[in-house]
């Protein structure tokens, strides 16, 4: 079965379903990024402060405390599970786009690897391997770029006519 370009040939109602799903998924994904920006300043030191606290900084505007074992396990568990489902579904849709195979495989696999690096990295940073904050920042950025690129490709192809 040929998957490359199958998205272009799907019936209108399936394209509509996929389009609405992608828009709603994007709203959820990017609202999550807004939350990250608000809580960690979206930089390595902000990420460290969010999970390890800032009680040593007497001039901090907002006092933050180190996350407990239960909080970290819950964060890592829920994010890895939910984001793996999100990126699996997005990857399935990317698999039926008309796209160069190497780019397609990258967009299907990279976000799943970044989920493990981002949230595993948060856990290791919290455990004391502080330099992991840079891995978290890099993998989170790469995951977001991959998400955005996948969404744009899918939406563009949903609006195209089959050739």
Q: Is 106 exposed, middle or buried (0-12, 13-18, 19+ CB in 10 A)?
A: middle
Which residues neighbour 37 within 8 Å (Cβ) at sequence distance 6 or greater?
A: none
Q: What is the per-residue pLDDT across 48-93, written as a single tens digit (0 to 9) for each?
A: 888 888 888 877 788 888 889 999 999 999 999 999 999 999 999 9
- Choose between 54 and 24: higher pLDDT: 24
Helices (H), 69-131: 69-95, 101-126
């Amino acid at each position: 079965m040929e998957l490359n370009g199958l998205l272009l040939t799907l019936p209108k109602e399936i394209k509509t379903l996929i389009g609405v799903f992608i828009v709603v998924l994007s709203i959820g994904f990017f609202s999550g990024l807004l939350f990250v920006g608000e809580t960690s300043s979206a930089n390595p030191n902000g990420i460290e402060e969010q999970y390890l606290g800032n009680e040593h900084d007497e001039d901090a505007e907002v006092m933050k405390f180190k996350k407990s074992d239960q909080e970290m396990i819950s964060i890592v568990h829920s994010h890895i599970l939910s984001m793996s489902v999100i990126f699996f579904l997005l990857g399935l849709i990317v698999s039926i786009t008309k796209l160069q195979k190497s780019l397609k495989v990258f967009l299907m696999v990279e976000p799943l690897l970044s989920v493990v690096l981002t949230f595993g990295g948060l856990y290791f940073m919290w455990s004391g391997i502080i330099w992991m904050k840079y891995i978290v920042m890099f993998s989170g950025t790469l995951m977001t770029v991959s998400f955005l690129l996948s969404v744009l490709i899918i939406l563009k192809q949903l609006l195209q006519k089959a050739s």
